[in-house]
Chains A and B, each alone.
Chain A
Amino acid sequence: DSGVTQTPKHLITATGQRVTLRCSPRSGDLSVYWYQQSLDQGLQFLIQYYNGEERAKGNILERFSAQQFPDLHSELNLSSLELGDSALYFCASSASGSDSGELFFGEGSRLTVL
């Protein structure tokens, strides 16, 4: 158990819909990262938050947004869903906001868009 909690574990929805994925980091960790794992793209970095502020942005679509709340949990919002958004979405946390901290991953949220 990494200490990072993600909900829901599985989600099935239809094209055009909107979903919210939730992540609670390990106790004391200030950084939260979101990753997408799809069959054709591998593990892709989406976005990082550190202590409530956006720290780095990767290949995140404009239809996607995220935030980190004062209690440090984070949510990833996916809207106008397309079939290609079906993937495993991981949240990770680390104590550091810098390049050198060790990341710990949650079990992922598997999204299926029909």
Chain B
Amino acid sequence: GIQVEQSPPDLILQEGANSTLRCNFSDSVNNLQWFHQNPWGQLINLFYIPSGTKQNGRLSATTVATERYSLLYISSSQTTDSGVYFCAVQGGKLIFGQGTELSVKP
């Protein structure tokens, strides 16, 4: 089955810093989504991005499907950005990576 690897596993930032999270996947996929799981456990949709680039406020994402990776950019991070960021791909079912745990310090 498809393997999904996220890096880094953990990240600590000072408020205001920028970061890039990476997601590698082992096979071609028809769907790629980024989620934020907040400290209360809620999974919040960030991007549906099987290919190309999208931006939403301070967040943006790029998927290069031919090279089997996706990047999530967080700019001017805020403490409310803390939580776990998951990449998930679908080639039959949505398969999640292990996540990047982000902690933003004031």
Chain A residues at the B interface, C-beta cutoff of 8 Å: 2, 33, 42-43, 45, 48, 56, 58, 88, 90, 92, 98-105, 107-108, 110
A-B contact count (CB 8 A): 51
Give the most central of B30, B48, B93: most A CB within 10 Å. B93
Residues of chain B within 8 A of A43, CB atoms compared: 86, 88, 96
Q: In this complex, what residue of B is CB-closest to A101? A: B31
Chain B contact residues, majority secondary structure: strand
Check A88/B45 contact, CB under 8 A, given A99-B91, A101-B31. Answer: no
Residues of chain A within 8 A of B48, CB atoms compared: 102
Residues of chain A within 8 A of B99, CB atoms compared: 42
By the criterion CB–CB under 8 Å, are A100 and B43 in contact?
Answer: no
The answer for the CA separation of A43 and B5 in the assembled complex, in Å, is 13
Chain B residues at the A interface, C-beta cutoff of 8 Å: 29-31, 33, 35, 41-45, 48, 50, 86, 88, 90-96, 98-99
